[in-house]
Structure 1
Amino acid sequence: MSASDGRWIAPAEEGLRGRVQVPGDKSVSHRVLIFAGLAEGRARVRGLLDSADVDSTRRCMEALGVDIVDEGDARLIHGAEGRLTEPDDVLDCGNSGTTMRLLCGLLAGQPFHAVLTGDASLRRRPMRRVTGPLSSLGARLDGRQGASLAPLSVRGTRALTGGEIETGVASAQVKSALLLAGLQGRSPLQIVEPGPSRDHSERMLAALGAQIRRLPQDDGSVRVELVPGRPLKLSDVDVPGDVSSAAFWLVAASIVPGSDLVLPGVGLNPTRTGLVDVLRAMGASIDIVDPGLSCGEPVGAIRVRSAPLRAIDLDGPDVVRLIDEIPVLAVAAAMARGVTTIRGAQELRHKESDRIASTVAMLRQMGATVDELPDGLRVHGRAGEPFPGGRVDSHGDHRIAMAAAVAALASSRGCRLRDPAAVTISYPSFFDTLEELRA
């Protein structure tokens, strides 16, 4: 690999210090734009994530007739009140699975035909978990391999039914797609998940005026009940900072000696703070201050300082709460004392890359010892000894790229990262921030 096809990331020899304003939450940003298609009124949205994935959602919503205007650092969004317009071209979701899956739900209740596609990575990701349940409500969804792969054709209807649907998987995207369809249905909808998933949609819909309840069950499952008919009303929104983006700085400051970072205004939704809880259990020095609320989401400032870490075993619901953070958690585990085992993470096989395989490859390229498991990985900790460093391929995956950069900060020689531009999917300013934090 030559210097021309990668980015050099040097070790952080003097630690990381300062304040980090992480970009707006990606999950919340997608939902603000998409729910506007069914809501009335207008909203001034501050902190909307400026990234490739959210840009894909914005372009699709504009193609469907939603008016979105830039006003300085804010976006003025005019609700379409459920009266979307048939697009005159294919809707390109780029690399964003959230965009494609949620739009399937939105379009299921619209009386026209639309086609959704994306880049090569997105066209390989599984869609049947969404298209199947939506078809059972009365919409017609077609695609490759029995509507399992994009491009997807959606022929919506104003006659969607309700009823009870068991998703079979704890997935916020599947649930959100069903809720978007259910809002346009003729009768109540009940969604039963086998376990908890992110609840951004339930929180936002409740704030918009929807009649919705989230009911945890004694057997660990979660039941979400939605009664359509109430109008959704937009109001101004301050999007909280993305805790998944904050995760990279939480791990970096924990494993780079002499570090002390403060991250203000981070979203602390309890369905998303699994990494914070796990790092604390591993011995990390993490404090939450200045708690508050933003668009129905708990927020706060996070202070993190370097500390020795110890290994941990993870499985089940704990993994669901930090599924996107597992690559960078694996970096923390590699710097901890002991052997960390992560199981029940098979969902990672179907992300922008096979994140189990690409995380294992990244750690090995940095000099760590790690075993690949069918549904996770086993990481042999280095007890604080720096990674040797090396050449790392991001596999075009933003979270692998940023996790590798964090590992490089705690290495003796740094690393050369192939395809660093992958970070634009969720955190375009990541490398600029990294350089600013070097003490």
Structure 2
Amino acid sequence: MAINNTLISYRQSHLRGTLVAHKDIPGDKSISHRALFLAAFATGITEIDGLNTGEDVAHTQLALEAMGVKIENLGAGKRLVHGLGGTNLTQPKNPLYLGNSGTTTRLLGGVITPFPIAVTIYGDASLSQRPMRRMILPLKEMGATFETNTNETLPLTIRGTSTPAALHYVMPIPSAQVKSSVLLAGINTQGVTSVHEPLKTRDHTEKLMDYLGIPLTTTSHASGGQTLSVVGKCHYAAKNITVPGDPSAAVFFAVAAAITPHSCITIEGINWSPYRRRAFEVLEMMGTKVTILRRTQICGEEIADLRIESNTLNSITLEAQEAPSLIDEYPALAVAAAAARGTSIFRGLRELRYKESNRLEGIFRNLSTCGIEVRVDDDTLIVKGTSGLPIFGGVTINVFKDHRIAMALYILGMIARNPIIIQGADCIASSFPHFSSVSENLSFMRAA
């Protein structure tokens, strides 16, 4: 239940219902950002269907419009993007406000680099604390200059160049955002720009480039990494793009069904990429009944319909190499671990300290407040589950302006004897504006 900027989560007897992509589950946020950026440089008009309608993607659209890209709104999730087709971005009249969107910020750096414009970007208090050094370093090598503070955080000014240099960049730390930023710079840079990632990360940028006919080659290495190379200054024709449902949003309802006894829900049309479905595989390993009802492909992305049924959950140990494919899903998985039998261990979570909040600290503090035995050892999260027993609840929590922590704690409230009150819940609008109404539609009966 929503009251102003507060969500109140009640205990559920069980959950029933079907969630449909674009109606109940928002369009994939990661793909939505990339669809807008790539459509902006196509030749012709791109119709995008299923675009994420949260605030983060809206900031990407507004930034592109401020730099001369015409985008028409055709209703919820539908956009017509008039591609520049080889012409330059234009100088925006004002600094660009990016809200809480780290993806917009990092990808925008690559978009601006090959154009002779100077753009000042700034964000909210949370985004202004997130480090941008990893995005800045490769783009400097391509010719961009940056005016920023000693911490290399927002606000900052990006000065692009009319003579960008192609680059071979070796990623020191896996990051799909930084990889995408360099590739986006590369499509408007003469020559071949390449990125070597020692550990493969989410590949939505590459899949969309391939779908649109952008000349991109991938070389896999025996070590498990890969090198991605894009040929710049090659025009590509606009093609309509359909965005699948966001698995990072759907996973919260999958966890809700998993931990609430006698629950069974269906989720239709979500992205089923190998880099995005891992959280559902982890839930299945813990004991959740996950059934794939249908699989197909849209715009190079695999999508699936699923049935999720509750079951007794067991603890799990996840090693550091899992982190790139689960980085957004750990808050939800921590809630699943809190309801499981035994002690779950999640290693290699250092990157969580640099998300919308210090997400590792946020998970620890809020689970502790809710009575869960949890501790953090360096970059390892350790959660002792309740073995399926309800928690007491009856607490008010602060989610540190982090949408995923807010949604995770709402789900935890479904197994609390007393309501959990979530303050600062407006942050959920950054990715999932109608989260609370979808949750209430799944509720079968509330118990006091």
TM-score grouping bracket, smaller chain normalisation: over 0.9
1:149 is paired with a residue whose SS is coil
- CA shift at 1:84, angstroms? 1.2
Paired residue for 1:69? 72
Paired-residue identity, %? 37
Equivalences for 1:220-369 in 2 at 5 Å?
A: 220-369=224-373
Paired residue for 2:10? 10
- CA shift at 1:244, angstroms? 0.1
Question: More relative contact order in 1 or in 2 (CA 8 Å, sep 6+)?
Answer: 2
- CA shift at 1:151, angstroms? 1.4
Q: 1:369 to 1:226 in 2, by over 3 A?
A: same
Q: 1:4 to 1:58 in 2, by over 3 A?
A: closer
- CA shift at 1:376, angstroms? 2.9
Which residue identity does 2:63 align to in structure 1? C
Q: 1:207 to 1:100 in 2, by over 3 A?
A: same
Indicate whether 1:142 and 2:135 are aligned: no
Paired residue for 1:41? 44
Indicate whether 1:119 and 2:124 are aligned: yes
Q: 1:206 & 1:303 partners in 2: Cα distance?
A: 31
Query: Which range is displaced more, 214-223 or 327-336?
Result: 214-223
Which residue identity does 2:53 align to in structure 1? D
Conserved? CA contact 2:202–2:276, under 8 Å: yes
- CA shift at 1:36, angstroms? 2.2
Give the TM-score of the pair, scaled to structure 2.
0.94
Q: 1:254 & 1:223 partners in 2: Cα distance?
A: 38
Q: 2:75 & 2:101 partners in 1: Cα distance?
A: 25
Q: 2:164 & 2:144 partners in 1: Cα distance?
A: 7
Paired residue for 2:109? 104
Indicate whether 1:181 and 2:185 are aligned: yes
Q: 2:11 & 2:205 partners in 1: Cα distance?
A: 39
Conserved? CA contact 1:133–1:167, under 8 Å: no
| Residue from 406, 411, 417 that aligns with 2:416 | 411
- CA shift at 1:34, angstroms? 1.3
- CA shift at 1:232, angstroms? 2.3
- CA shift at 1:214, angstroms? 2.7
Q: 1:240 & 1:46 partners in 2: Cα distance?
A: 9
Unmatched tracts of structure 1, length 5 or more: none
Paired residue for 1:130? 135
Q: 1:37 & 1:266 partners in 2: Cα distance?
A: 25
- CA shift at 1:99, angstroms? 0.5
Unmatched tracts of structure 2, length 5 or more: none
Q: 1:215 & 1:307 partners in 2: Cα distance?
A: 42
Paired residue for 1:85? 90
The RMSD of aligned alpha carbons is: 1.4
1:144 is paired with a residue whose SS is coil
Residue-by-residue CA offset, 1:249-306 (whole Å, 9 max, x unaligned): 1100000001111110001111111201111111110111221111211001111000
Q: 1:56 to 1:163 in 2, by over 3 A?
A: closer
Q: 1:215 to 1:276 in 2, by over 3 A?
A: farther
- CA shift at 1:5, angstroms? 6.3
Which residue identity does 1:12 align to in structure 2? Q
Indicate whether 1:28 and 2:27 are aligned: no
1:372 is paired with a residue whose SS is strand
Paired residue for 1:392? 397
Query: Which range is displaced more, 230-239 or 306-315?
Result: 230-239
Indicate whether 1:167 and 2:171 are aligned: yes
1:224 is paired with a residue whose SS is strand
